[in-house]
Amino acid sequence: MRELARTFQAFNAYDDEHIRQLGLTAPQFDVICTLGNTPGMTMGQLAEKTLVTKGTLTGIIDRLERKGLVRREVPPANRRCFMIVLTTEGDRVFEEVFPAHIAYLKQRFSKLNEQELEEIRLSLRKLRQLFQPIQN
Amino acid sequence: MRELARTFQAFNAYDDEHIRQLGLTAPQFDVICTLGNTPGMTMGQLAEKTLVTKGTLTGIIDRLERKGLVRREVPPANRRCFMIVLTTEGDRVFEEVFPAHIAYLKQRFSKLNEQELEEIRLSLRKLRQLFQPIQN
DNA sequence: TATTGTTATACTCTATAACTATA
DNA sequence: TATAGTTATAGAGTATAACAATA
């Protein structure tokens, strides 16, 4: 039981350190990954996917906008909402930084063989289903 | 690879929600768990165990002290440092709330059989060793 | 009236660096 | 001088609830 919390803590520390080196915070990185390879998303959709309240998301998007990584577009059909879209620079970050981050994590995984990886993958999937009843 | 991040995100959301219901934050809960079943610890030791800088820890301990869950004791031998100790109330929280939290998590795990649990345990241990080179 | 976001409020956590007190 | 913690500073994330604009 504690195993899960400790593993998570260790992973998170490792993960977070690299994200910060890239000049982003974990929630900001999460938003960029969520927006990557999509035509954009409203604040509401984005808040739901990233598990953040809408009020909190406003601040995160403000900061990403200030960094020039996303922009708010007003769809003519419904002027109450925004489409949050990656800018060219934001897309570049997604295309370059995201794989770099994966590669960074892969360094550690390379110590395992294929069978071990498959077992871990299976275990994680089971765990995730346990804690994430609502699947996307 | 993403499996790991998503799983932990789901777990964390579930975990955090319960901790907040108990009136604590994750770092505060972490401190109480770390202090449980110990004679106390200096700020430095505690900061190291909880992976937090000493400046940050000061604030966390201040808030726990205000809640009456820990106290700072000055050891006569070295008046530069404090021993951070659980109060009676703090110990009660550790003794009652910690198992309650475990039970809360167990609800989900009860859906798995013993063999699955063992496989998951093994996978998590491998993962942890991957990301936590410095073991305590 | 209902929906979509923003703003106001109030905390907590976060790191860094300068500082105080003790050793 | 070195060590142990605190304080100052500055920012990010967090939720909640009140608000404005649009539908």
Is pLDDT larger for residue A73 or for residue B109?
A: A73
Rounded average pLDDT over A119-135:
80
Counts for chain A of helices (H) and strands (E), in that order: 7, 2
Q: Nearest nucleotide by C1' from B84 CA?
A: D5
Is the Cβ atom of B19 within 7 Å of strand C at any atom? Answer: no
- Res. B15: pLDDT tops 90: no
In chain A, what residues touch B109 (CB-CB under 8 Å)? 1, 130
What is the maximum alpha-carbon separation in chain A? Answer: 52
* Domain spans of chain B, in order of start: 2-131
Nearest to A57 by CA among A65, A47, A67: A47
What are the φ/ψ torsions at residue B85 (nearest 5 degrees)?
Answer: -130, 145
The pLDDT assigned to B133 comes to 55
| C-alpha to C-alpha distances, B65 to A58, B1, B17, B74, B87, nearest whole angstrom | 33, 40, 22, 15, 9
Interchain CB contact of A122 with B (< 8 Å): yes
Is the Cβ atom of B12 within 7 Å of strand C at any atom? Answer: no
- The helix (run of H) or strand (run of E) holding residue B70 is strand B70-73
> Hey, are the CB atoms on A1 and B106 less than 8 Å from each other?
yes
What are the φ/ψ torsions at residue A73 (nearest 5 degrees)?
Answer: -115, 135
Mind giving me the DSSP string for A45-95? HHHHHHT--HHHHHHHHHHHHHTTSEEEE--TT-TTS-EEEE-HHHHHIII
Cβ proximity of A28 and A64 under 8 Å: yes
- Res. A134: pLDDT tops 70: no
Q: How confident is the model at residue A135 (pLDDT cuts 50, 70, 90)?
A: very low
At the topology level of CATH, where does B2-131 sit? Arc Repressor Mutant, subunit A (1.10.10)
Radius of gyration of chain B (CA): 17
Which amino acid belongs to residue A58?
A: T
What is the maximum alpha-carbon separation in chain B? Answer: 53
- Res. B21: pLDDT tops 90: no
Rounded average pLDDT over B24-30:
95
Interchain CB contact of A109 with B (< 8 Å): yes
Rounded average pLDDT over A35-59:
96
Rounded average pLDDT over A126-132:
83
